[in-house]
Amino acid sequence: MKADLVLFFIYQLPDEQANEMIEFVTTVIITGSSVLLFGYWFRYTCLLILSAKTTRDFAGQVAAANQLGFLEVQTQLRAASVNLDSLRDTLDRDYAVLSSMLKQVRGSSEEGSSLETSMLALNYRVMRTWYRVSSVFSPAAACKALDEMSMVIAHFANAMGQQAEGAAA
C-alpha cells in the first residue's frame, strides 16, 4: 500500500523531478548497501586475523613479563558472575601498555603502521564502544565484546613477542 502511494506520488511529479527523486533514492540505497558491506567485510577480516594461529604463541610470556591481565580476563569471562567494568579497565590498561610498547619497538618503520595493526586497533575501539552500549541492556553481548577486546590484546602481545624474538636473533 505504501509502495503504491510512493509510486503514485512520483508519477504525479513532473518528469525531471521524478527522475531526480529516483536517482536520489537509488543513490541512498547503493550508498547504504556499500556501507553495510564494508562493515561486514571489516568485521569478517578482523575475526579472521584474530583466529589465525602462529607457530609459537608469545602472548603468555609477554603477559607475564609485563604484568598484563588479559589472560586472567579471558578466564574470568567464562565464570558466572564478574564485574565487567573492572575487566574492561584491565583490558584498557593492557591495550595502552602494549600499544606504546609496539610503537617503541617498531619505531617509524613501515611495519609500525601496517594495515592489520590499524584494523585491529580500530576494531578494539569499536568493541569498546559496543561494550559501553551493550552493557546497559545485554550482559552477554558485553561479555562477547570484552572477549574480542582481549583477543585483540592477545594478538598484540603475540606480535610484541615476535618482534622481541626477531630483535634478539
Whether 11 and 27 share a structural domain: yes
Domain range for 71 is 56-168
Whether 38 and 79 share a structural domain: no
Whether 76 and 119 share a structural domain: yes
Question: What digits encode the pLDDT tens for the residues 44-68?
Answer: 999 999 998 888 889 999 999 999 9
Number of compact structural domains in the chain:
2
56 Rama class: left (phi>0) / alpha (psi -120 to 50) / beta: beta
Among 5-19, 108-122, 124-138, 151-165, which stretch is predicted with the lowest mean pLDDT? Answer: 5-19
**Domain C-terminal end among 52, 74, 93:** 52
**Domain C-terminal end among 25, 52, 79:** 52
Confidence (pLDDT) at 108: 47
Whether 37 and 92 share a structural domain: no
Whether 92 and 150 share a structural domain: yes
pTM of the predicted model over 0.85: no
All cell numbers assigned to 140: 552477554
Whether 126 and 88 share a structural domain: yes
